[in-house]
Amino acid sequence: MAYSQTDIYMGTSGDFVVDSKGDLTLAESFESVKQSVNFIARTDKGDFVPDERLGGDLGTFVGDTLDEDILVNMERSLISNLERFILNRGDFQVHCMPISTTDVGVFIVVAGQYLDKDGNILDTQQEVVSFTYPYAEGEASIP
């Protein structure tokens, strides 16, 4: 499947990007999909009022002991929600791993074919959307 969605372009901080005239910038399909992946991964269901079904639900794991089962369940939650709302399962991978006793690294590899506004296939390479999930209320038990 080739993805062709376009959205308002947001920087990594989540702020809108404007051009030199002060107009909002539109993201090409690949950037738009990566923004959507990042949004879903960082949102819990119910947080986004226009569609409360959206969300990777990582917040539901805060307070649990951080072990291999929790990491697998975090990955499953993200996979389920990304597949439901954004990407075909073969176009992404999800990896969650402890990076400290209080933080989990979340790495989502995004691939697939993308189209520009004229329907031409964009020359894209897979990229990783990553962030640190603050698991501050839990404690790590992974050696």
Which residues of the chain form beta strands (DSSP E)?
A: 2-3, 7-8, 26-27, 92-98, 103-110, 113-114, 127-134
Please give the span between the terminal C-alpha atoms of the chain, in angstroms, as a whole number. 40
pLDDT beyond 90 at 141? no
pTM of the full predicted structure?
A: 0.84
Which residues of 7-90 form beta strands (DSSP E)?
A: 7-8, 26-27
pLDDT tens for 27-64 read 888 999 999 999 999 999 999 899 999 999 999 988 78
Domain borders along the chain are 2-134
Residue type, 69: D
* Tokens 């909002």, located at residue: 24
Dist. CA 18–CA 49, nearest whole Å: 25
Question: Where does residue 4 rank: exposed (0-12), middle (13-18), buried (19+ CB within 10 A)?
Answer: middle
Query: What are the CA-CA distances from residue 19 to residues 5, 6, 7, 23 (Å)?
Result: 20, 16, 15, 5
pLDDT tens for 76-128 read 999 999 999 999 999 999 999 998 877 899 999 999 999 988 889 988 899 99
Percentage of residues in the chain with pLDDT exceeding 90? Answer: 50
Q: Out of 3.40.1280.10, 3.10.450.40, 1.20.970.10, 2.60.120.10, select the CATH number for domain 2-134.
A: 3.10.450.40
